[in-house]
Amino acid sequence: MTKTRIAVFVSGGGTNLQALLDAQASGKLHSGQIVLVVSSQPDAYALTRAERAGVPGVVCSRKELGGQEAFEAAILQVLERYGAEMIVLAGFMSILSKDFTDRFPERILNVHPALIPSFCGKGYYGLRVHEEALKRGVKVTGATVHFVNEIPDGGRIILQKPVMIEEGDTPRTLQRRVMEQAEWIILPQAAEMVAADIAERKEHAD
């Protein structure tokens, strides 16, 4: 079976990208292959991780390209050049338009650091998610991998994993634990599930 070609979109440190690269190296992610990393920031450490793993990295900056339309057009061009069939958003801080997401129905995945429908939607990203969880006093949080559509955090849920909140947690300690105990586990699992599904459909279409 031919592997599904995966592009990973990043904006920062790339810890979720690293989890995907590690899963690929260990064989947990075997139905797909990461062929490209797209960063919205030229100085993202994720690009260094990509380079170390021998994966091409490309920068598409909305600011430099002069707006959403040009930004998405540049990304589409790069995806086409590398033959990407599926996209994983791994800490990607740009919202994609309906026009873009409609081109990849149920082929774009995102990981969100909470149990959707809690603490999600517009403006809920990074530390703010964990700050709000602690503020509300919830006892259990976690992470969700979902398909991406035009609504922030609005696509169909693929996998979720709960994480207990502990006494004395700060937003930063909670963020770290949600990554280690949930995000880095379920993102590669979900990527494998979707990649396998795409590869199988492709084979049947042939």
Contact 22, 53 (CB under 8 A): no
Tell me how far apart the alpha carbons of residues 146 and 194 are, in angstroms, rounded to a whole number: 11
The Cα 110–Cα 58 span in angstroms is 19
Distance CA 81, CA 83 (A): 6
* Residues recorded for the chain: 206
Catalytic: which of 112, 130, 146, 204? 112
Nearest alpha-carbon partner for 189 in 153, 130, 124, 144: 144
Let me know if 146 is a catalytic residue.
no
**Whether residue 162 has a cis bond before it, omega within 30° of 0:** no
Query: Is residue 7 classed as helix, strand or coil in its secondary structure?
Result: strand
CB 157 within 8 A of CB 116: yes
Is residue 125 within 8 Å of residue 158, measured between CB atoms? no
The residue among 50, 22, 46, 38 whose CA lies nearest residue 189 is: 22
- Residues identified as active-site: 112
